[in-house]
Structures are given as structure tokens and as C-alpha cells.
Amino acid sequence: MAGEAQDKNWPLPKFYFTVDLGGGMADASFQEVAGLDIEAQIIEYRHGDSKIFSNQKMPGLAKYGNVTLKKGIFVKDNQFFNWYSSIKMNVVKRDTVTIKLLDEGGNPTMTWTLTNAWPTKISATDLKVDGNEVAIETIELAHEGLKITNA
């Protein structure tokens, strides 16, 4: 029923979350987080005296997808561009990014931690003379590890 405390029989809603970009950046409220993916690359192998006419499949290196964050554009808020502008020839400011899914009390129930995250792409909003939507900017982060923990 509505208003009752969340229990273990129902999935958590996905609309209540926080994102901490780390590195002393100002807090931002995000509209969307996408790309929290982990994949094991497949190594195919077949030794010469195998009686089976197919390859063995073994897990290889872990592959992490880029994470996309979307938020509204605010006056005098250039923190994404400033972070992106810090990229120099193989020198970039890397930060730990923490994404927390919250319960109705604001307590974290699940946490995704991105290790050594850095911006690879920034997209500004599209502009339309007949539109009435909020201006949204997008940042895409590459990272070197994803850790998932539960409360």
C-alpha cells in the first residue's frame, strides 16, 4: 500500500538517486544516469588435440562501458566544461564518482563507485525556437573500474 515502508518484496524505484563527482566539484542534481555496465571479454581457445570441434570460451579482461550523466543547465555553471578542459596530452584529472540509489528515507540502498573517472565527451543542449523543454547538458565519463555495494 502507498505510504508503507519499503520491504524486500518489491523492487526499488529508480528515480531517487544522488551523484557525487568527487574532486571538490559542486553538487549537481542529475536527470539521468546511464551506462553502468560491466562485461567480461571472451577469449576463445582450442588446443590442437581436442576431440571437440569447437572452441572453449573463457573469461578475459573486464570491459566497462562509459557512463552518461544528464542534468539541467544553470546560469554560470561550467563545471563540466572546466573538468573537460583540464585534459591535456595524456594528463587528465581523474576522480572517483559515486552514484547512490536511495530509499524513501534518503538512505543509500545500492552504490556504484567509478574508479579513475574522467570526461570523454560533453554535449550541449539542442536549441529550438518552438520548444519549451528544459535545457539539458550531457557528460560522458570513461572509467577504469566499477564497484557495486549494497547497504
pLDDT in tens, 59-100: 999 999 999 999 999 898 888 888 888 887 778 889 999 999
Looking at the 3D structure of the chain, how many domains does it have?
Answer: 1
C-alpha count within 13 angstroms, C-beta hemisphere, residue 63 = 8
Any domain includes 91:
yes
pTM exceeding the 0.85 threshold for the entire prediction: no
Q: Per the domain annotation, does 47 fall within a domain?
A: no
Check if the beta carbon of residue 118 is closer than 8 Å to that of residue 140.
Answer: no
Convert the pLDDT of each residue in 13-44 to its tens digit. 899 999 999 877 767 789 999 999 999 999 99
Range of the domain at 145: 17-37+67-150
Domain for residue 113, yes or no?
Answer: yes
CATH number of residue 121's parent domain:
2.30.110.20
